[in-house]
Every structure is written in structure tokens, then in C-alpha cells.
Amino acid sequence: MSLPCVAIVGRPNVGKSTLFNALCGRRIAIVEATPGITRDRLSSVVRHSGASFELVDTGGIGVEDADGLTAHVQRQIDQALERADLLVMVVDTRAGLLPDDRAIATRLRGLQKPVLLVANKADGPAAEPAAAEFAALGLGPPLPVSATHSRGLGRLLDAVVAALPAGLLGRAPDVMMKLAIVGRRNVGKSSLVNAIAGEERVIVSELPGTTRDAVDVQFEKDGKTFVVIDTAGIHKQRRQRASVEFYGLVRARESIARADVVFLMLDVASDIVEVDKRLAREIGDRLKPCVIVVNKWDLAKGKISTQQYADYLEKTLPVLSYAPITFTTARSGRRVWPTIELAQQLFKQAHHRATTAEVNRALHEAVRLKSPGRQQGAQARFYYATQVGVARGVREPPGAGRRGLPPIPGQRAARAPAIPRGSHPPGPARSNAPWRRVRNSALPRLDGAHGAGYNPPVGIRAIPREFPDACAGCRGRADGRPQAHEGPLAPPR
């Protein structure tokens, strides 16, 4: 069941985005004193008193966009008014009742939908009497709040839940995967989001910098709920003059951090530049599964082949040499859904937990293909490896062990006692040296049964050469100490 929709509306600069952020509990919308900052519809799920609803922020009604996007912004507002089950009209207590407020109230009354009147910027009890004049709008008694200081938000949420029909209040769907789309300006990110959503969910324009906020858009596929995040286009840092551009960059980076899979979107008609390389490094540093999406492929028809362009990307974006490449035309929807299916496959791989035997076979095969180099005349030797985690952001069940199994209900998960340093089973060249981590980048890429470019799972823990008699049952804790010993290391198969 879809959640009820609550839309925040009003004239420019009354504090709609500030109120939206305060009710959501985090900074989603960019807040600036300049009118017309918000363009797209921003949405987030809000939970209060056991009820959930979708809260939508909109642009200011009647604002004239400085970049000529007024018609696009007003169309987004019209769509929000049409979909909303409850309208929250925000007015400014400091500015008082203005003709624009009266015009908006008249328009809302004609929609025949419930409306809550919120008098914002009532920063203290002394400012609350000034909100009484807004009762002349005929929308009921105004609720004085201060979004900046979080005053009156609880009463407002109570009023929202009470005003929504009980049959509409439901439970927020579980989001299976969050997908962030990042890239330079005018590469087609918003067009791809609209193709996925099946509607004009975000504004698309030839004007660079149309998208400012990071816009979360929910969609369903095969009965599962996904979120695709449209982000602001990135350009050279030395050209970022306005603060709104800086905040757009910050939200784009935050979107990469909270996404499960990232689409790095490129324009086939443009060369790879430093901005693309910086974004690739950001994705690689955060260890995010990534798909390189080459958009506007219809413009390259007959000029270059997919293999030629893939070879070009391998030379210019070596940090993402492991990432699959897909070629799309977002405006026409060509190869959009195969790209989503590819992201689902990466999501599944990132959450795969390999058995210890599989990890050790991969490690031995990697060493067989390329032995570690010598350092100070000694050669590194690997005895044992295990996977200690899956993709970031996934919480393992409490007490999950090496195989990721939860504890028996009603029993506390057993933990093997730690062995003091220096008490490892006797053997030559013993030492108290802690274990060390070996990242995937230290292992060669394998082209075998797992497919080209396969790497062993993230989080390989190896025993240093100081423990040559390490046993097959050794497991490592977060502090790096050995725990259990169950026999000698089995030779590689």
C-alpha cells in the first residue's frame, strides 16, 4: 500500500525547506535566503506515533526563476498538489499576512483537500500572538512553529497524523537497494531518473546546473522497492562560486556514501576530464559497487564501437577498471532496465558471504598466478584467510560468526576466549606480531570460473610469516588477536 502524501507549499522564503529538514530529522533540502533555490520535488518518509507518511517539499508558488525555469518549477508544484492527500501551507509570522498568501489560500481551498496552516518563524512565545492574523485566510487556526529552533514540531506532527484519513496511514516499504547517479553537468542524470520513474519526476533542461538538491525517487520493480538518487552535476572546484553549488557538491558526495550501488554517468560526446576522474576516485575510495553508464549512445552510432570506447575508459579511468560498462540513451529509455538489472547483480555480489574454503582457494590461486614480491630478502607467505564482512551499511545479525549465522534463540552467542599474545601453538619463528589485513588490491585479478575481473571478497585477513605453523581453525577478532586453533593449515588444492 502506498503511503499518504503530505505536501508543504507556500510562497518563497517562508521557511518551507527548513521545516522539511526539521520534520525529516536531517539536512535534505538546500536552505538559502535567495528565493527560488528549491526546484524539484523533494520527498522523504516521516514516521510519527506509529504512522508513516511521505513528506514532500516544493518550490515557492509564484517565484520567477532566474534561469528561466519558472514553468518547470510550477509544473512540479502542480504535480505535488495533485498527488497530496494533505496540504501544509506555510506562512511567515515576521512578514505578516501578504496578498500572495491570500492568493495561495484561495487556490488551495479550490482543491477540496484538507489544509493545515503553519505560521513559521514564531521563535518564542512573544511571537505567537502575531500568528493570529493568518486566521483570516479561512484555513483554520494557524499552528505557530519555529523550524529553525524546532519549536512546535511535535504539535505539528500530531496535527498531520490526525488530519490524514486512518485508512491511508501505513507502513513504509522496505527499500531493497539505493542507487545514486553521479556525473558531470548535462550528461543526462535527470533524464535517466525520469526514464526509471516513468514520469517527469525531476526537471530536465539543457541549462547546466538545473538539479541542485539530491532527489530521492522511489520506484518498484518485480514487487521490490528501490530508491534512485538524482544528484547535482559536478564541475571544476575553482568555478564553484555560489554556496548553493557547494551544498550541491556536498549532497552528491553524501549520496555516494549512502548508496548501495553508484552509477557514474558519462557523455559519449565528451572526453573524460578531471571531474570524471575525481568522481571515479571518490567511488573507488568508498569501495562502492559501480556501473559506468555511457549515455547518449545514439550520437555515437557508426562512429565508434562499444569495445573501442571500453578500451578508452580502461586507459582514462583505471581506478574503475573492475566496473562493468553499459551504453544507454536515457531520453528514449534504451537499455535503462538492463542497466538496473546489472546494478541488482552487483548489489547481490556485494552482499555475498563466501565460505572460508572458497576464500582460501581464491587466495592460493592468486598466489599461484603471481607470487608476492620479496622485501629485504624475505618473501611473504600466506597461511590462512577468511571473509570478515560484507558490503558496508549492512548490519549482520547479532552474534553472527564466520558463516554469518545468528545465535540460537534464547541463548547468548558463544565467543571463544582470547589467547594471550605469545601463547600461540609452538613452532619455529614464533612472535607476538599482530595479524595484518590484505586488501583485494594486493591480489591479482582472476579470470576463471567466476568470470573476468573477479576479485576475492573484501576483508581478507592473513597470518604473517611469523606464524608459520598457524592452524586451519585460526580466526581473527577486531583487535587482530588469534582465537582458536584446530589443526595445521590444509595444503592448497
434-477: per-residue pLDDT in tens? 333 333 333 333 333 333 333 333 333 333 333 333 333 333 33
Residue 77's alpha-carbon distances to 69, 138, 319, in angstroms, are 13, 22, 41
Q: Give dist(CA 129, CA 68) in Å, integer.
A: 39
Q: Of residues 138 and 411, which shows the higher confidence score?
A: 138
**Helical (H) or strand (E) element with 29:** none
Average pLDDT, stretch 354-362?
A: 92
Query: How confident is residue 392, by pLDDT bands cut at 50, 70 and 90?
Result: low
Q: Give residue 260's Cα distance to chain centre.
A: 6
Helix or strand (DSSP H, E) at 47: strand 42-48
Query: Taking 60 as the threshold, does the pLDDT of residue 106 lie above it?
Result: yes
Mean pLDDT for the stretch of residues 25-51: 85
In contact, 295 and 188? CB cutoff 8 Å: yes
C-alpha cell at 70: 519558472
pLDDT per residue as tens digits for the range 273-314: 998 999 999 999 998 999 999 999 999 888 889 999 999 999
Question: Does the pLDDT of residue 322 top 80, yes or no?
Answer: yes
The yes-or-no verdict on residue 236 having pLDDT over 50 is: yes
The SS3 call for residue 453 is: strand
As a whole-number percent, the residues of the chain with pLDDT over 70 amount to: 77
The grid cell for 265 is 554517468
Give residue 410's pLDDT. Answer: 37
Rounded Cα distance, 95 and 319, in Å: 53
Q: Can you tell me the mean pLDDT for 376-382?
A: 83
Least confident range from 7-11, 377-381, 488-492: namely 488-492
For position 81, what pLDDT does the model report?
93
Residues shown for the chain: 493
Residue 161 confidence (pLDDT): 92
Amino acid at site 259: A
Residues 370, 374: Cα–Cα separation, whole Å: 12
* The residue type at 490: A
Question: Per-residue pLDDT averaged across 239-248, rounded?
Answer: 68
The mean pLDDT of 59-82, rounded to a whole number, is 85
Pairing state between β 378-379 and 290-295: unpaired
Percent of the chain with pLDDT over 90: 41
pLDDT (average), residues 349-376: 89
Q: Are 160 and 53 in contact (CB under 8 A)?
A: yes
Angle between helices 153-163 and 16-24 (to 10 degrees): 90
CATH topology of domain 175-350: Rossmann fold (3.40.50)
Domain 5-163: CATH superfamily, name plus number: P-loop containing nucleotide triphosphate hydrolases (3.40.50.300)
Q: Summarize the confidence of residues 354-368 as an average pLDDT.
A: 91
Predicted local confidence at residue 57, as pLDDT: 92
Residue 342 has pLDDT above 80, yes or no: yes
Please tell me which residue, 462 or 372, carries the higher pLDDT value.
372
pLDDT of residue 139: 92
pLDDT bucket at 159, cuts 50 / 70 / 90: very high
Higher-pLDDT residue of 205 and 46 is 46
Q: What is the pLDDT of residue 413?
A: 38
* Residue 336 Cα to chain centre, angstroms: 19
Residue 70 has pLDDT above 70, yes or no: yes
pLDDT digits (tens, 9 = 90+) for 395-440: 333 333 333 333 333 333 334 334 344 444 444 343 333 333 333 3
Of 281, 266, 282, 265, the closest CA to residue 228 belongs to 265
> Is the fold of 5-163 the same as that of 175-350?
yes
Residue 2 pLDDT: 76
State the chain's mean pLDDT as an integer: 78
pLDDT band at 104 (very low <50, low <70, confident <90, very high): very high
- Within 8 A by CB and 6+ apart from 316, the residues are 272, 276, 277
224 within 8 A of 176, measured Cβ to Cβ: yes
Q: Which pLDDT score is estimated for 162?
A: 92
Q: Domain residues of the chain, as ranges?
A: 5-163, 175-350, 353-493
> 205-224 pLDDT, tens per residue?
777 778 877 888 988 888 88
Alpha helices in 330-453 (DSSP H): 336-350, 356-369
Burial level of 353, CB count in 10 A (0-12/13-18/19+)? middle
Pairing of strands 290-295, 325-327: parallel
**Confidence (pLDDT) at 371:** 85
Alpha helix (H) residue ranges in 202-335: 243-258, 274-285, 306-316
